[in-house]
Amino acid sequence: MRKTLYPPIEPHSAGRLAVSGGHEIYWEVSGNPKGKPVLFVHGGPGGATEPRHRRFFDPTRYRIVLFDQRGCGKSTPHASLEQNTTWHLVDDMEALRVHLGIDAWQLFGGSWGSTLSLAYAQRHPERVTEMVLRGIFLARASEIAWFNQSGASAIFPDAWEDFVAPIPQDERHDLVHAFYKRLTDDDPKVQSEAARAWAVWESRTISLLPDRERMARSTGGPFAVAIARLECHYSVHGAFFGPDTALLDGVNRIRHLPATIVHGRYDVICPLQNAWALHRAWPEARFEVVEDAGHSVFEPGILHQVVEATDRYR
């Protein structure tokens, strides 16, 4: 039988941590106050935590920490691009660890969360006990182009037409910059139209089968603006890594850590070749390909594998 989420649980503590640049990040802790620390690192950039993210972990054994990254969720200022880079987020994670008095913690990250977890672990390997990584994104130019310029459109041509609709034909040769221009426009209506198109495209491609509930929840209002602005901001700047292979080049710093890599065979947002590249660089990590899944962590096969991993490490 496939494993699934643990029962609903409420946080026993929560707060806001002031970090650099006028940002404040929201954090919460649930589960066993004396349990094994684990940090849930959400996707995006610009996504947010939600109550069911607490439920990947055995609450009797884990001290479960969730936080909203700069500019999204309950963190403020909302959708801000100022002083919002990968390395600001890595510093925020480390500041949160110190704030909570945690010596070292497990990292659980999917999609962009896998990227940020790898960046943090490579900078602070002594502060990581294990890693559970899902839907691998290595922030290489080819990966950004695959989803927002070229490859994915061949699989979802109908959704692609809706995605590019706000962009004039003569700007479609560089969609990331065309969207960035609109997502940073002073006119909220221009921002909102571009944000909705961006969020709907992602929502329609995230799972093997359509998830209409997710589409309704994630394609409008503040969530869509944050995820579109921040994802586009990070895409334009190559996630602030410099060399295209920065994360793969840094794997040697963390190969000693116990780790599990989980990826859906039919992941259109982050193709399996991303996880394969990480697997080849990190053969010691456990590698699980889910044959009947796309990108979403809530695909039954992916959910089973990540809960299996957190149970194994508890």
Q: Which amino acid is at 88?
A: H
Query: Within a 10 A sphere around the Cβ of 274, how many other Cβ atoms?
Result: 24
pTM listed for this prediction: 0.97
The pLDDT, as a whole number, for residue 8 is: 98
Query: Within a 10 A sphere around the Cβ of 90, how many other Cβ atoms?
Result: 18
The answer to whether the CB of 87 falls within 8 A of the CB of 120 is: no
Nearest to 310 by CA among 39, 112, 116, 45: 39
> Where does 105-169 have alpha helices with state H?
112-123, 141-148, 157-164
The pLDDT, as a whole number, for residue 220 is: 74
Among 267, 279, 296, 304, the one annotated catalytic: 267
CA distances from residue 214 to 6, 114, 205, 290, 302 in whole angstroms, order as listed: 20, 21, 11, 21, 17
pLDDT along the chain (314 residues), means of 10: 97 98 98 98 97 98 98 97 98 98 98 98 98 98 95 95 96 98 96 95 94 77 94 97 95 98 98 98 98 97 98 98
- Does residue 256 have an active-site annotation? no
- Does residue 267 have an active-site annotation? yes
User: Phi, psi at residue 252, to the nearest 5°?
Assistant: -60, -25
Among 23, 233, 279, 295, the one annotated catalytic: 295
The number of angstroms, rounded, from the C-alpha of 148 to the middle of its chain's C-alpha atoms is 16
At what angle are helices 141-148 and 175-183 packed, to 10 degrees? 80
Tokens of 301: 């096969």
Q: What is the pLDDT of residues 76-119, one digit of tens each?
A: 999 999 999 999 999 999 999 999 999 999 999 999 999 999 99
Query: Within a 10 A sphere around the Cβ of 168, how many other Cβ atoms?
Result: 8
Among 111, 117, 207, 296, the one annotated catalytic: 111
Domains of the chain with CATH codes:
13-140+240-313 (3.40.50.1820), 142-238 (no CATH)
- Does residue 23 have an active-site annotation? no
